[in-house]
Every structure is written in structure tokens, then in C-alpha cells.
Amino acid sequence: MVSGALPTRRQGLALALTLCVPVALAAIVFPTPMYDTRELIAWGRHFPLVTPDHPPLMAWIGGAVEKLFGGSAASMVAANQILMAVGLCYFYAVLRLMLAPAAAALFTLIYGASFYTAFGALSFALNADILQLTSWPAVVFHGLRAGRTNRISHWIGLGIWTAAALLTKYNSVVLLAGLGVALLVVRDFRSMLRRPGLYLAMALALLLVSPHVIAVLGRGTAVSYGLARFEADSLTARLSSLGQLIAGHLAFLMPALVVVAVGLWRGLLARQREAMSGEQQVLLVTNATMLVILLGLVLGGGLSYVFRYSAPYAMMAALGLAPLLRPAGGWQAWAERELPLTLAALYAALGMAIAIVYLGFASHSAMQEPTAAGAAAILAEWDRAYPCGPAYFFGGRQEVYGVGLQAGARVTPLFYRDVAGAPWFDPARLKAGGAIVIDRDPGEVDKRMGFFLPGLTRSPEHLVTLPLRRTSKAKTITYHLYFVAPQGCGSRDDLRHPGK
């Protein structure tokens, strides 16, 4: 092992800058959350045990953040980065089980200052894939420490974080399978199978997950959505998914792979020659098992793989590969001064460049969408026509989970496809309060309404056109609106002032 001090101030500041770049960009340049984040906020308002597509933890977090701090992109991205910091602390803690503090700090910096941690939150804040970067290293850390110490606190931590991982995304079973195989293969940790703590952790995880499991048994759309991803039925499609898997792993390990290559070339990093510890063996077996499972799912099972699924697997790969290297030569000046300053300069420059481009010369139709102004204008159109409602916003995911969220508590936004899988949809409320349908493709609106909302009669089209926010580029967005008249209206004054 390499002796050394704790992480230096420069290393900490470089990581902090990396995590803060998307928060600053969201606050200054991109005020509107992206589609996935809008969707989980909308679901989170109902604190569901089951959502139309996924386990509910991301919706719970998104709903809590909106309730406490508002639904802006800045609040969502900031919450995401705080959780990312927790994951990086666990990443460092896992490496500390195998490496000296200075080496663990170096490899945490190399992985942590990635393009994904710097910019991923802008597109995927609080989404299931990015949230796994918090829960997965926590599961590994508490599992390894429980195996070595048999302390009840680590067994409880293992159970709680395992439940959090499963409630984030079902593919956490791949991680658990990898760890399970490692327990059987690695002699140092095989004794865990005979310890009551392991079964306490499993029971605790099952207890925490059981309300969701019961809800899924009654309404299994989230499981159905996952199973529908196994749709690659040709060799070309499966090879394409394999390419996505490889590309995702490479993308989420950038620029770490470049930094490691430079370190090896300059003699600042070298291959570790000491015998592998039990912890290292567990990580390598876990990673190998997960890779075999992923290849089986993609090539054998026809999983339609998307590159962003690789985020937690790439993190686990970094944990497994880092201990195979060691600092060498005059590495300290590089690790404690040159590398942190280079990474800090890189992300400061990239952040400023993005801000200048999107404030002055380009635009982003989602992250600069005028959702609040759009909601106000759309509701004004509705209020001119009807004395009550609307109860729902229906339509495309971008539109309905944008302006629909800004319409306030009086309205429940639902993507067309989510209507059947949302436990909070109430046909009686729809009938009484009516709805606004928002669809960017006027030629398809009747077909979509007939499939997802059968039996509803719509009004003629209304148009609302507004400029994008926070950009000098003259670009607008047009909302195509169709009203479903309410049937439960009293007088306009009674409805606006109930109880008078």
C-alpha cells in the first residue's frame, strides 16, 4: 500500500467544482428540468407505491424536493449532486478498504471528476440510473465491512441500502447476484453465508421493499414496462445493444480512462504487484459476474440496451480496476496539484463555454422551455371557456410534464401512456373537471385520444406560442391544445370560492 495523507484541499475543490457545474448551469442557463426529471416529479406528488414504469424511490425523492424547495431544475440538480457526493464518499470508503488514504483519494478524484458527474444531472437529475451511483457503492461498502467485522450496524446498513437500490431500479438484482457469486467464490468472505447478520440484512431489505411488492402484485405495470425492454429480436438489434453497452461504459469512464493512460505513460501510475486482498477479489468477481449477466441479457435475452444504463456498472468497474493500479514515481505533485488544477480548469472552461453558447447563440427547447408562462397562458384560455377545472393535463411527455406541473395543485398531469398505469388517475374526477390535451402533432391527436382516452370529445384546436427562456436566440415553442369540457361545473363564483 502507498502511505499518504487524507485527500488534499485541491482534490476536494476539484471534485466540488465538478459536482457544482450542473447546479450553476441549471440556475443560470437551463431553468427547466428535462423530461425524465419532470416525469418523476409529477409521479412524486402522489407518493405512489408503484409508478407506471419504475420502482418508486426516485419519484419519492423528486416529490419531496419539489415540496420543500420547488420544482426548478436548479433544486432537482442540486439534490442529485448532494446524493452523488454521498455516493462518492462511499466510493472512497470502499477504496480505503484496499488502499492507503492518498491512493484512495487519487482514484476517487480520477473517477469522480467524470463528464457524467459534471453534466449528467442536467439531463437525468434524480433519474433511476444516476441515483444508483449513490446506493450501489453503499451496498458494496456495508457488505464488505459486515463480512469483516460482523457488526450489526453494517448488517443494518446493508439491508437499508439494498432496499434503496431495489426501490430505485430492478436491475439492482444484477449487482446482488454478482455479490452473491463473490461470496461463494472468495474464501475470505464465504463465512458470511453462515452468519445470522446476512439473513437479518436480507429480511430488513425484504421488509422495506414489501409494500412496493404488494402494490406491484395488484398493478404490475412497472414490471411490464421492464419486461417490454426485451424486444431486440434480430442479430443486428442485439449487436446494436452490445454497442450501446460498450459505448456507455466507455463514456461514463471519461476522462478517467484518459487520465489513467497519461499516468501510466508518464510513470506516475503502475500495476499493483501485491497480492490481491479478499475485498479486491470480491469486486473483481462481482464485476465479472455482472458482465456475464449483462452479455447474456443483451445477446441471449434480447434486452434493448441504452447507453445510460451503464452508469452504475461503470462505477463498479472503476471500483474493481482502481486497486489493480498504484501510484508510482513522483506521483504526489501530479495527484495533489497538477491533476486537480487541470480538472478544475477543464470544468470551469466547459461550464463557461456552455453558458455563453446557450445564453447567446443557441437554445434548448426542453431546458429553456417557458413552462410557467405556458401554464398561465393555457389556463387563461381554459378559464375563458369554462367556470371550473381542468382536472387533468393529458398529452405528450415533454409538454404535459412541463406546463402541467406548473399549472398547480388543481391539475394532475399525465402522459398518454401513463394513464392506464397511474393509480392516481380517477375517471370520475376527469368527468367532473374536464381536461386539457396537449399534443405537438395535430394530425395524431384523435388517434392517440381514441387509444388512451376513449370516449372523450375534444374542442377545436387552440394555440399558445411563447419564446424560450434564458436565450438571446429568437426561438419559440407552440402548444397545441384541445379541451375536454367539464361536466361538474356550478356557477363560476361558487367554484372559485368554495364554501361561500
Inter-residue contact 135 to 161 (CB < 8 Å) = yes
Q: What is the pLDDT of residue 7?
A: 64
Q: Are strands 412-415 and 392-395 parallel, antiparallel or unpaired?
A: parallel
Instruction: Report the predicted TM-score, pTM, of the whole model to 2 decimal places.
Output: 0.92
Per-residue pLDDT of the chain (500 residues; tens, 9 = 90+): 334 445 688 999 999 999 999 999 999 999 999 999 999 999 999 999 988 888 999 999 999 999 999 999 999 999 999 999 999 999 999 999 999 999 999 999 999 999 999 999 999 999 999 999 999 999 999 999 999 999 999 999 999 999 999 999 999 999 999 999 999 999 999 999 999 999 999 999 999 999 999 998 887 666 777 777 788 788 999 999 999 999 999 999 999 999 999 999 999 999 998 889 999 999 999 999 999 999 999 999 999 999 999 999 999 999 999 999 999 988 999 999 999 999 999 999 999 999 999 999 999 999 999 999 999 999 999 999 999 999 999 998 888 999 999 998 889 999 998 998 888 999 999 999 999 999 988 889 999 999 999 999 999 999 999 999 999 998 999 999 999 999 988 434 444 444 44
Contacts of 27 (CB under 8 A, 6+ apart): 74
CA distance 28 to 74: 9
Closest CA to 84 of 138, 44, 144, 159: 138
Q: What is the pLDDT of residue 382?
A: 94
Q: What is the pLDDT of residue 222?
A: 66
How far is CA 18 from each of CA 22, 212, 309, 347, 440, rounded to the nearest angstrom?
8, 35, 21, 6, 36
How far is CA 194 from each of CA 23, 146, 184, rounded to the nearest angstrom?
46, 13, 11
Quick one: cell of 411? 391539475
User: What residue spans define the domains of the chain?
Assistant: 9-358, 371-496
Give the phi and the psi of residue 51 in degrees, each rounded to 5.
-110, 170
CA distance 378 to 381: 5
Q: What is the pLDDT of residue 429?
A: 94
CA distance 51 to 40: 9
CA distance 411 to 283: 48
Quickly list DSSP for 367-380. Answer: TT--HHHHHHHHHH
